[in-house]
Structure 1
């Protein structure tokens, strides 16, 4: 094979994505019989839950050879509840095939996937599937793709046959236009370059179920792919973590540089903790089956055993750290363990969260409850089934609520002091607001002359080892930079746990100060929405949008249909799709896409309903402990700055330094 590529297949639910993957594998001679999603025997839906439900939940892979190209095919989830898994899968792809149902056209989730493909720079082909069903026609569908996705969405058959559509392609690129004006056509090499640069998105059409257009798709994508250049030194990215048939932990990786070997030592970090482990097996999966390999060269994907610490999204070797994911859970559920030991349930859920970072699990010490954060009701049902099948745990959940977060709107200084008898640590931190979507960042400006580097590392390790809760509703904080500005240890009495206590209290004390001056902010998840309704229903749609606190543009009309676009609080739109179907007699459609966290539209009501008392949350105490006459005593958070032993001098500050691998002494 002269070329190889990892190709992902993505689509909105029911577009026929898995059916297309089966047809491609069958036509390439990799499988003898095409499986059916409906029959529960598809080659790539290997999980029992997937087969029962008839949907792809976990990404899976297979290999095929076509012409001179070796294709590693990855089938990504299509249901919106599992779009986080689909997003992680993108990090492993060289190319993508976006499947659009001819009978449905471009859906809201199609556009979500399109934006993710653009974010990660994945060259994309489009397959218009189910062309045998009733549809508006190929030209209309191509026009819709051009309007909703990109003007570079052009008929692939005409592009490759030198048809008139090549002139449209040439207009997308200056060099291509010069070539077209000189030669009267575009070479395959030029088309391949434009595909790789995401200027051109060749569109194929057919019926995967009836084997129409599948060979043309295989021929076309293999002709238009080109071999990539890879780093010479070892680099890889983890895009999935799962369990094998015997319960062994599998890390699915894309090798992006050098070569990955069986028995190779791999180093990395999990938060502030460094680790080094040896890869045991290297497996090349083809559906459920796999073959062992001694090595995988750059450009390949595989599953490895032996790495207990890696999580999806982790970078290995020379691979640079990636951006934070776009998709995030917006719902939180309280776990009802029933007759099971709550700690056993928490341990099982933590294991699942280790495989899926978008599955948030937290223990509320104050309420003695487990809280679970996830994407939606279908994912919740899958988690419930996995707990029963893998761990023998039959549990229930209280109705889901919105996952709120908290941040600050202006900088504050936090001070924590921990000095019971024969213990000592003091920590000073600066908390600053960051742009939306930044998460929590950690760093230091403290001079090592003022606080030894080892103590700085310990304080920041403690800061990074847990999620910190806000003081309005006890929700996790986000979009905050936490900077170590100073502190003190005692040559004789300081132990490691002392800095943990001082650091926790410093963060909490700073947040309490923010609340005191009105700088604590409650955030809620918002959706970007598109609401399409018949023209006679636009008044109802506008009224509903206003009632829900939505922000939107004036409606646009296309024929007898109206479209409303904007953003809306997730809390207000949970069951609205059912309302739309009812008042439009099934002719209206609501499309939702996670748009990030922003200020809560009804913060006062939410805060009042939460009735959270931050000073009563003892595991997150804002007060400090000082010592006098041989005994420890508590100082209230508002008096701590005056009682502190260290007076931070900003003239001694060093340039801000991130708490990264280099800071912790691991390059």
Structure 2
């Protein structure tokens, strides 16, 4: 199960309480003191925020739990995304004071879309300003209409605040359950005896209803009731050791000796050290590996084990090419992107460029969204300014590299304007290969289609073509990625005696970009949605400030604004808010969409030798 929340709602503190209740730790650590069990990085302890997902295993009675504590800061939403892909259930934490925040809404929307059974825990009921009825109304309006309170609160907003559990067998709950089950409704209206607990368990398991618990992670109030709710309502894993192996890698890190350690959820089957395992990469052909070591998470630590079974989370060693998102054993349907990719990038520089590049590539293994580009300068992609500090800290502490960053700039994308086609036969160039492509606008990532017979070309050549297509689309006509496109392979040719896969890898960028050039592209810039709370006496200044930074207000009151603002101006906009709002402005932003650039399209330096200029491209290949 995962614990997710907006930053500072109390996820890590709740994790500490659960570990204490399970007997894994003998004292509850504090985030402010930097001594919590799951915040292991120095920077996490210094800043009091979770940056990397941490796994800890324990037992709640007869229920074994693998708990994933996820980051709350929006800069690290990619870590949350990877955790969500392996969950059976979740606890979404809210603050009784701050209530439903933008990140809370984003997380709940994703949990509901994935149909992950979820309990809500309203934390900090002992804080001044804590709310109950008003907050429940906000939860039902903004998060889920099927929120079911499982307790009332006495002495709300004071130190002695306590919870009083509500009976499961009650009319309010019966009415909510009846709205989602006609047979239950019929029995209830006829006055027949109905098992509300059984129906609640079923509807929680199908993510139709969401029980809401109240408490304080700092004092422990309400935590026993939450634990009982986890044991009672969240469904247990159903995979069995006798099934075929299915596992998904959701985290990759490096050990003290520099070796890769991959964390994976075993959904079904068994996995043993030194036994062959099929790996299905996120993109690329299947291959076989033999894990040199298998460790299981148990009682707050990792322990070596020879064989692991369904339902457990394991740490695997000896998988040199493993990446986040790879599947082991029999592949299941790939989980699509849950959150938007990074929309910002920055140039990173250091005295030792070679060492910096190697270190950044290792960081990119742990976080695939830290894309590293080498186009004269080294650039990395970002979600926000906090991530800069994290990357700098990791590079210095783990690799001994001190770095500096340039100003953050937005990552644009390109969108096809129409349809284009290009073809080259085997007799027309320096490589013993021929390909043809037709491209057209897409709406959901790369849609790659074959309009040639699969058997007309060796499989290795088909693999080389598709991999080259994916790589080429990272740089469109203006140097920006083309994320949504339909590519049809319309022609292939090869010489059985002389053609090698490298011939196709070199030819594909030339012909694919010719087809894209015929279609034409438009450069788009990222735009964020913002919510801003300000003092009433500053609202006119803030409205002018929004307009000055190309923002558009869509909703407004005397103290609250919502709207959109380009990613390019978001940081400058935010940096001036403390002065304009007497330090009282509260801004949250999330990615919203891409819109066409209104001015001259920005051009990004290429890293591929420029296939749009064949002579320059061939020269680049000959020199590399």
Unaligned runs of 5+ in 1: 1-6, 626-631, 635-667
- Quote the Cα distance in structure 2 between the aligned partners of 1:136 and 1:386: 37
Could you say if the C-alpha distance between residues 572 and 172 of structure 1 is closer, same or farther in structure 2, counting changes exceeding 3 Å? farther
For residue 591 of structure 1, report the CA deviation from its aligned partner: 2.5
Q: Does 478-487 or 416-425 show the bigger shift?
A: 416-425
Question: Partner of 1:244 in structure 2?
Answer: 255
**Distance of 2:325 and 2:135 partners within structure 1:** 35
- Structure 1 residue 454 displacement after superposition: 5.3
Q: Paired residue for 1:594?
A: 591
Q: Higher relative CO (CA 8 A, sep ≥ 6), structure 1 or 2?
A: 1
Aligned to 2:223: 214
The CA distance in 2 between the partners of 1:361 and 1:378, in whole Å, is: 18
Match of 1:527 in 2: 528
* Corresponding residue SS for 2:592: strand
Q: Deviations over 1:452-491 (max 9, x none)?
A: 665444333333355531222x122221122221133345
Preserved contact between residue 450 and residue 486 of structure 1 (Cα < 8 Å): no
Deviation at 1:233, TM superposition (A): 1.5
Distance (Å, rounded) in 2 between the aligned partners of 1:230 and 1:123? 17
Map of 2:82 onto structure 1: 88
Instruction: Supply the distance in 2 between the matched residues of 1:67 and 1:286 (Cα, whole angstroms).
Output: 14
For residue 510 of structure 2, the aligned residue among 505, 512, 515 is 505
1:346 to 2:346 alignment: no
Q: Which has the larger displacement, 504-513 or 69-78?
A: 504-513
> What is residue 389 of structure 1 aligned with on the other side?
397
Contact 1:422–1:493 at 8 Å: present in 2 too?
no
Does residue 1:361 correspond to 2:372, yes or no? yes
Contact 1:272/1:464 (CA < 8 Å) preserved in 2? no
1:356 CA drift (Å) = 0.8
Shift in Å, 1:230: 2.6
- Tell me the CA shift for residue 413 of structure 1: 0.9
Map of 2:123 onto structure 1: 129
CA contact (8 A) 2:168 2:197 kept: no
Match of 1:306 among 273, 293, 318: 318
After superposition, the C-alpha distances for 1:339-389 in whole angstroms (9 at most, x for unaligned) are 20x23321221111111111111111xxx1111112112212111121122
Structure 1 equivalent of residue 154 of structure 2: none
The farther-off stretch of 20-29 and 229-238 is 229-238
* Greater shift in the superposed pair: 412-421 or 34-43: 412-421
Aligned in 2, Cα 1:176/1:228: closer, same or farther, shift over 3 Å?
A: farther
Structure 1 residue 505, shift from structure 2 partner: 0.7
Is residue 622 of structure 1 aligned with residue 612 of structure 2? yes
- Whole-Å Cα distance in 2 between the matches of residues 91 and 448 of structure 1? 32
SS of the residue corresponding to residue 9 of structure 1 reads strand
The CA distance in 2 between the partners of 1:30 and 1:149, in whole Å, is 33
CA positional deviation for 1:297: 2.2
Q: 2: distance between equivalents of 1:527 and 1:296?
A: 43
Offset, 1:508: 2.1
Alignment correspondent of 2:413? 405
Over the aligned positions, Cα root-mean-square deviation in angstroms equals 2.9
Q: Residue 476 of structure 2 aligns to a residue in which SS? A: coil
Q: Indicate which of 245, 257, 262 corresponds to 2:273.
A: 262
TM superposition shift of 1:402 = 0.6
Quote the offset at 1:526 in angstroms: 2.1
Q: SS in structure 2 opposite 1:77?
A: coil
Question: Distance between the aligned counterparts of 2:167 and 2:561, measured in 1?
Answer: 36
Aligned to 1:165: 172
- Residue 333, structure 1, aligned to residue 346, structure 2: yes
2:249 aligned counterpart, secondary structure: strand
**Judging changes above 3 Å, is the alpha-carbon distance between structure 1 residues 355 and 168 closer, same or farther for their aligned structure 2 residues?**
same
Partners in 2 of 1:222 and 1:466 — Cα distance? 49
Answer with 425-434 or 410-419: which moved more: 410-419
Report the Cα distance in structure 1 between the residues aligned to 2:430 and 2:325, rounded to whole angstroms: 42
CA–CA distance in structure 2, aligned partners of residues 194 and 117 of structure 1: 15
The match for 2:145 is 151
Separation (CA, whole Å) in 2 of partners of 1:241 and 1:32: 29
Residue 203, structure 1, aligned to residue 212, structure 2? yes
Distance 1:128 1:461, change over 3 A: closer
Output one character per residue of 1:112-153: Cα deviation in whole Å (capped at 9) or x when no partner. Answer: 111221232211111111111112422222122112111212
**SS of the residue aligned with 2:609?**
helix
Tell me, yes or no, if structure 1 residue 428 matches structure 2 residue 427.
no
Q: In the alignment, is the contact (CA less than 8 A) between 1:432 and 1:480 conserved in 2?
A: yes
- The reply to whether residue 320 of structure 1 matches residue 327 of structure 2 is no
Distance in 2, matches of 1:47 and 1:618, equals: 36
Aligned equivalents of 1:279 and 1:450: distance in 2? 36
Instruction: Tell me, yes or no, if structure 1 residue 572 matches structure 2 residue 562.
Output: no
Change (3 A) 1:491 1:224: closer
Cα shift at 1:240: 1.0
User: Of the candidates 58, 66, 70, which is equivalent to residue 60 of structure 2?
Assistant: 66
Deviation at 1:563, TM superposition (A): 4.3
Whole-angstrom distance in 2 between the partners of 1:8 and 1:352? 24
Q: Secondary structure at the match of 2:224?
A: helix
Aligned residues of 2:551 and 2:566 also touching (Cα < 8 A): yes
Q: 1:300 to 1:289 in 2, by over 3 A?
A: closer
Structure 2 CA distance for aligned equivalents of residues 575 and 164 of structure 1: 52
1:409/1:122 CA distance change after superposition, 3 Å: same
